[in-house]
């Protein structure tokens, strides 16, 4: 056997990607499985975005670009931050990467050393703790239950901060809970952060556009501009424009951190795909009505799924503020099923017995829950909920 690094042994493969792969494999083997595991919109990338990519190929945009992105895309990102978020950046404060995932990876690599602590509220996006571990640092998980709408309080944040705290990760609206922090709640967290100037903040705004109440999105810099010099705003085109396969994310933040992240990227992937950059520019600069169309479908599905889930005995599901996930508590269902002792076993049971693939809450640091993706047709959702109800009956 070939000895592998301790680093790689510290982490696990992405559980959400694993569920999707398993459902696809079962389907390929002829099993009838409805996939509710997906972390991506079920819509096609809008036509005008595809066209921009095709034109880019024809125009010969098929070579290396600057590591941090082509200047015109960076200008589109700057304009986007100004238009949607009221944030001002210079070009050397912007880094375009191969997906939001690489943005966070670069940040962890650029910022963290062994022993550094990173505060991650749970439920969390599955990749944060593992990317922190890959940077030799220590994830400090702060749990927020359904009773607090899965959002941490200022007191919890204060209690988690130590002299070793380097980074605080904020993801609102949240994958997997769909809950978003209000202005007031962000203000409360910001007041704590103002007292601890050593803490850098990562605001992961990936689901910014997928919120039910128009104009309700807000990030921590909007309520506390004083944190500008130590906040990285991470975003991307994957979810807003149904462009998960194109792999374009971007970050805005303090110049020294962005330049350090760029250095990491220059020695790993170099530039994100040239063609995808052209597509991302078209997405950011073009007609935004594609977002509203997706949003309408997600909201309709959300209303149906939450109502239907809450009629199933043993399931308790909060309505969300946005995203395409719901995150019900399923402890009652687990208790009622013989031989099913936790959420991981329940997910296993549902895929085998009901042909419904979803992700156990443990993957997000929240046992007793499951994440259901509503990024699939109403028809699939109706069928899947019938099946889950059948198992619970
Ligand atoms: N941040 C959050 C909260 C996410 O849910 C995701 C994707 O699932 C990402 C970042 C990364 O997105 P991508 O790398 O596909 O752009």
Say yes or no: ipTM exceeds 0.95: yes
Please indicate whether residue 101, judged by its CB atom, sits closer than 6 Å to ligand 1: yes
Per-residue pLDDT of the chain (393 residues; tens, 9 = 90+): 999 999 999 898 777 777 788 888 898 999 999 999 988 999 999 999 999 999 999 999 999 999 999 999 999 999 999 999 999 999 999 999 999 999 999 999 999 999 999 999 999 999 999 999 999 999 999 999 999 999 999 999 999 999 999 999 999 999 999 999 999 999 999 999 999 999 999 999 999 999 999 888 999 999 999 999 999 999 999 999 999 999 999 999 999 999 999 999 999 999 999 999 999 999 999 999 999 999 999 999 999 999 999 999 999 999 999 999 999 999 999 999 999 999 999 999 999 999 999 999 999 999 999 999 999 999 999 999 999 999 987
Nearest ligand 1 atom, CA 236:
16
Beta strands in 223-278 (DSSP E): 231-236, 249-252
How many angstroms is it from 34 CA to the middle of ligand 1?
A: 22
Q: Specify the DSSP element, H or E, that contains 223.
A: helix 220-223
* Token pair for 210: 């997928």
Distance 118 CA to ligand 1 centre (A): 18
CATH 3.90.1150.10 domain range(s) in the chain = 6-44+289-392
Domain with CATH 3.40.640.10 in the chain: 62-285
Q: Is the CB of 235 under 6 A from ligand 1?
A: no
Atom index in ligand 1 nearest the CA of residue 248 equals: 16
- Closest ligand 1 atom to residue 247 Cα is 16
Token duo for residue 142: 């702060």
Distance CA 1, CA 21 (A): 27
Phi, psi (deg, nearest 5) at residue 362: -55, -35
What's the 151 CA to ligand 1 centre distance in angstroms? 19
Decide: 262 in ligand 1 pocket, CB within 6 A.
no
Q: Which of 105, 107, 236, 248 to mutate to test the pocket of ligand 1 (most atoms within 8 A of CB)?
A: 236
How far, CA to CA in Å, does 283 sit from each of 44, 237, 328, 346?
A: 13, 7, 33, 39
DSSP-derived letter for residue 229 is G
Phi (first) and psi of residue 57, to 5 degrees: -65, -50
Topology given in CATH for the domain delimited by 62-285: 3.40.640
Instruction: Confirm or reject: Cβ of 117 under 6 Å from ligand 1.
Output: no
Q: How deeply is 299 buried, as exposed, middle or buried, from its count of CB atoms within 10 A (0-12, 13-18, 19+)?
A: middle
For residue 364, how far is its CA from the centre of ligand 1 (angstroms)?
14
Query: CB of 176 closer than 6 A to ligand 1?
Result: no
Nearest ligand 1 atom to alpha carbon 171: 3
Q: Which CATH architecture has domain 6-44+289-392?
A: Alpha-Beta Complex (3.90)
Q: Which atom of ligand 1 is nearest to the CA of 207?
A: 3
């Amino acid at each position: 056997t070939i000895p592998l690094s301790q680093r790689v042994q510290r982490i696990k493969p992405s559980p959400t990607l694993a569920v999707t792969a398993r459902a696809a494999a079962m389907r390929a083997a002829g099993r009838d499985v409805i996939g509710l595991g997906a972390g991506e919109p079920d819509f096609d990338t809008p036509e005008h975005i595809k066209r921009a990519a095709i034109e880019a190929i024809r125009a010969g945009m098929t070579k290396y670009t600057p590591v941090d992105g082509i200047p015109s895309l960076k200008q589109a990102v700057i304009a986007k931050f100004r238009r949607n978020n009221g944030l001002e950046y210079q070009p050397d404060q912007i880094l375009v990467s191969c997906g939001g995932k690489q943005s966070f990876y670069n940040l962890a690599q650029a910022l963290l050393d062994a022993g550094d602590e990173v505060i991650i509220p749970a439920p969390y996006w599955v990749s944060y703790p593992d990317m922190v571990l890959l940077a030799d640092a220590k994830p400090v998980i702060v749990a927020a239950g359904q009773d607090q709408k899965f959002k941490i309080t200022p007191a919890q944040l204060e209690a988690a901060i130590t002299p070793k705290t380097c980074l605080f990760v904020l993801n609102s609206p949240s994958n997997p809970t769909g809950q978003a922090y209000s202005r007031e709640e962000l203000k409360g967290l910001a007041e704590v952060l103002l007292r601890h100037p050593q803490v850098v903040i990562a605001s992961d705004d990936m689901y910014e556009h997928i919120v039910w109440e128009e104009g309700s999105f807000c990030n921590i810099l909007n309520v506390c501009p004083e944190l500008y010099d130590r906040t990285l705003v991470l975003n991307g085109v994957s979810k807003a424009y149904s462009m998960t396969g194109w792999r374009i994310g971007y970050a805005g933040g303090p110049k020294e951190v962005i330049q350090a992240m760029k250095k990491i990227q220059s020695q790993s992937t170099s530039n994100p795909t040239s063609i995808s950059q052209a597509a991302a520019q078209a997405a950011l600069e073009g007609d935004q009505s594609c977002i509203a169309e997706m949003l309408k479908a997600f909201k309709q599905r959300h209303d149906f799924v939450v109502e239907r889930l809450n009629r199933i005995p043993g399931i308790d599901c909060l309505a969300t503020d946005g995203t395409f996930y719901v995150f019900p508590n399923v402890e009652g269902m687990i208790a009622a099923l013989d031989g099913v002792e936790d959420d991981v076993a329940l997910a296993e049971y549902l895929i085998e017995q009901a042909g419904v693939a979803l992700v156990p809450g443990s993957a997000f640091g929240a046992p007793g829950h499951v994440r259901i993706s509503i990024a699939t047709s109403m028809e699939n959702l109706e069928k899947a909920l019938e099946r889950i109800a059948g198992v619970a009956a």
